[in-house]
Amino acid sequence: MSHKMDGNHSSIPRSSYVELQPQNDYPNPRTSSEKVSFGEDGYLGSKVTGRDDVDDDFEIDIDNYPLIVGGVSNNGSGIAGAVFNLTTTIIGAGIMALPATMKVLGVVLGIVLIILIGILSEISAELLVRFSVLSKASSYGEVVEYAMGRPAKILSEICIIVNNAGVLVVYLIIMGDVMSGSVHHMGVFDQLMGNGMWDHRKLVVLIAMVVFLAPLCSLDKIDSLSLTSAASVGLAVVFVVVTFVAAFIKLVEGKIATPRMGPDLSSNGAILDLLVVIPIMSNAYVCHFNVQPIYNELEGRSVQKMSRVGRITTVLCILVYSSTAIAGYLLFGKDTESDVLTNFDRDLGIRFSSAINYIVRVGYILHLILVFPVIHFSLRQTVDALVFEKAPPLSESRKRSLGLTAVLLIIIYIGSTMIPNIWTAFKLTGATTAVSLGFIFPSLIALRLSHQGSGLSHLEWFLSWLMLVLAVIVSIVGVIGNVYSIKSKSD
């Protein structure tokens, strides 16, 4: 580290850290019209216009010394805990829709898109972290505001709220479908105990919310969820392994029909499904709203360390998603449901089929219960930032935190009783909020701030434009596909 100031100074050991937090004498770029300029090679120069008492040459190497938000000591999570939290954010209900997308796209195109979207999503997350650090932003909305102004910040926060609330509604829908059953499928309780009060899915979901979800959602720090996130990742892996083994056994025994390698273009309905399936896949990787909170609580945080977290997470998620999509599609073929978990109420055609069905369904319900509070955390933070902008941080007001938690859980529960299935929810959020949060906003942030700090390499500049253009096309095509799909069903 090097810094230039008048007077004597002593070097700071590299094992130490520097707090880069706004004081009364230095403007916060998120709340002040004064600008903080960035020099070359990622150095932050504090240059306050109209001030003679601040040295324009003050420099801090951002990459070597972590950003401390809020002036608290950095005793946060390690890389493993951050990977678990980020992986949990990504691997949620979206995994249940991937076998159905494979049915539409075919195996080859489906796998290619899973890998491609995963890589692009990781690149956009890295860009987001880099420019969040340079702008001293502590949340997604703040870096959007710094790059594009307050209206863009409000729009991004609305996208986070709609996206996360939609995802949590999907979680409750899946819990209800699996535990209590649906019109076409038997629930776990029905198979175990026959008909009873557990047939009322609204009651079952309400009990699960009060007993399991509310206590976890009441926690104040996302780092507090590291252990539950690790458990949820483990449960997701169990689901993937069991599903893959079942598909492999059926494949060896010759009980699986040859899967389709490419997309089905034989009918208008198939083409409509193709138009809306890519936004659904992009929805599966959206985690950007939780990148900053996870970074804020990362021990010894730096851009490089968070990049490692992102890359490890992406590789893990690509493996899990590819395995699940292939195995689910091989197991159920053309009968694959939009929520593949509901398919596990039938005989799989192998030994111990009944036990496997229970393990898969109950295990994944437990996974969703543990994922739910991680998504809820960023939802609550964003609602608080939007509604109580001038109030102290949410972590300093236990009463406000609990009140927001209660209100949000009630709204999410009501939403789960009104939306028919997860395919409908994913089609709507995937084509709008998901591509906006995962690709459009991060690309615009990188391009708008590319002249600051170390800037963008030629490859990063090209990828930023590529993600922006592709995201806009996917969004437009997805919305049009949704409109025609709804119209065709009404006709």
- Residue by residue, pLDDT tens for the chain (491 residues) are 444 444 444 444 444 444 444 444 334 443 444 444 444 333 333 333 333 444 444 344 444 433 333 333 445 668 888 888 888 888 876 787 888 888 888 889 899 999 999 999 999 999 999 999 888 888 898 999 999 999 999 999 999 999 889 889 988 988 888 888 776 667 787 777 767 666 777 888 899 899 989 998 888 776 666 777 778 878 888 888 888 888 989 888 888 888 888 887 765 666 666 767 777 788 888 888 888 888 888 888 888 999 999 999 999 999 989 998 999 999 888 888 877 888 888 888 888 888 888 888 888 888 888 889 888 988 998 899 899 888 888 878 888 999 999 999 999 999 888 877 676 777 778 778 889 999 999 999 999 998 876 678 889 899 999 999 999 988 888 788 777 766 666 55
pTM over 0.85: no
Burial of 50 per CB tally in 10 Å (0-12, 13-18, 19+): exposed
**Closest by alpha carbon to 22, among 46, 50, 57, 51?**
46
Domain boundaries, the chain: 1-65, 79-490
Task: Please count the CA atoms within 13 angstroms of the CA of 33 that sit on its side-chain side.
Answer: 1
CATH class of 79-490: mainly alpha
Burial of 253 per CB tally in 10 Å (0-12, 13-18, 19+): exposed
**Phi–psi pair at 128, nearest 5 degrees:** -60, -45
State how far the alpha carbon of 375 is from the alpha carbons of 1, 141, 142, 161, 403, in Å: 37, 16, 19, 10, 17
Residues 6 or more apart in contact with residue 287 via CB below 8 angstroms: 86, 89, 90, 121, 125, 313, 438
Q: What's the pLDDT score for residue 436?
A: 93
* Beta-bridge partners for 309: none
Q: What's the pLDDT score for residue 93?
A: 65
Phi/psi class of residue 232: alpha, beta or left (left: φ > 0; alpha: ψ in -120 to 50)? alpha
State how far the alpha carbon of 177 is from the alpha carbons of 90, 343, 408, 415, in Å: 21, 11, 22, 15
Decide: 261 and 107 in contact? Cβ < 8 Å: yes
Residue 19 one-letter amino acid: E
**Phi–psi pair at 181, nearest 5 degrees:** 90, 170
